[in-house]
Amino acid sequence: MATSGGNACAGLPEADLARIAQAAERYVAAHGLFARLLSRIGRGTVGAAERALNLFLPNSRRAIEDYASEALWSLLDVSRAGLAPRRAGPASERVYRGAVAASGAISGLAGGPLSLADIPFTMAMMFRAIAEIARSHGEDIDAFETRRACLEVFGFGTIRDEEGEVEASYWAVRGALTHAPLSLFLRTVAARFSVMLSEQAMAALVPLVGALSGAGANYLFMSHFQTMAQVHFTIRDLERRHDPERVRACFDAHVARLRERRQLFRNAA
């Protein structure tokens, strides 16, 4: 494992090299076929549904973005209720995927504007799931920096980024969010997150079809952001233990190698 990332990984302990390799595998998987499948859920209904949604809520995408921007910080605080600041051990990821899938199916079956009621519940469950993942990587979820890092997850590598460079879809976004004032930070995260929320709401507007797409989209969105949270908080933990530039170089080397292998496989197929 120590040589799989080349000189970029030289000098790092075997256990941490394994964690970097796993984070890279998760990152690449989150932007592969799984992500493309997610982006196509409900696509056949989105055009008509968006027009229908705009009848009830003009400029729906902007309205959802405004809502997300205002709700992000408060929903994160509410969603952490009852969680101890620190705890060793893995997060309960399956529970949250099941909860949002059930919620998406119920709201999608109802159809119409009632499907929008699923948004705050889904957001709260995602925030709580991400907070648990942060805590499992040694973060103090009561700390301001950790809460901000939890929200950063929604700014990283959204489902529309399929084959973007690591620098474009993770490091550059992370750098921009880290140094942004809180108000701009919340607006930036909300703008990216609201794309998912609006498509989720639009796909769920049609009864029956909405139930299936709502359940599936919620499950896959939760899985996607849980994966990105695992990547993000693994990297943050390793940066606390080692030189951040070395961790970054090793992670990038692993991602580049995995993408090269995947491209070779595609070319051979």
Supply 56's token pair: 């009830």
Neighbour count for residue 71 (Cβ, 10 Å)? 17
Nearest to 107 by CA among 98, 119, 96: 119
DSSP letter assigned to residue 117: G
pLDDT at 212: 66
Q: Average model confidence (pLDDT) for the chain? A: 77
Nearest to 205 by CA among 122, 60, 108: 108
Q: Which helix (H) or strand (E) holds 221?
A: helix 209-241
Q: What letter represents residue 96's amino acid?
A: Y
Could you read off the pLDDT of 176-185 as tens digits, one per residue?
Answer: 888 888 878 8
pLDDT at 20: 97
Supply 2's token pair: 């120590």
pLDDT at 3: 45
The C-alpha atoms of residue 211 and residue 217 are separated, in whole angstroms, by 10
pLDDT at 45: 46
Contacts of 167 (CB under 8 A, 6+ apart): 252
Can you tell me whether residue 180 is helix, strand or coil? Answer: coil
pLDDT at 231: 95
Answer yes or no: are the C-beta atoms of 189 and 64 closer than 8 Å. no
Could you read off the pLDDT of 136-174 as tens digits, one per residue?
Answer: 999 999 999 999 999 999 877 554 444 555 555 688 888
Could you read off the pLDDT of 209-265 as tens digits, one per residue?
Answer: 556 667 777 888 888 889 999 999 999 999 999 999 999 999 999 999 998 887 787
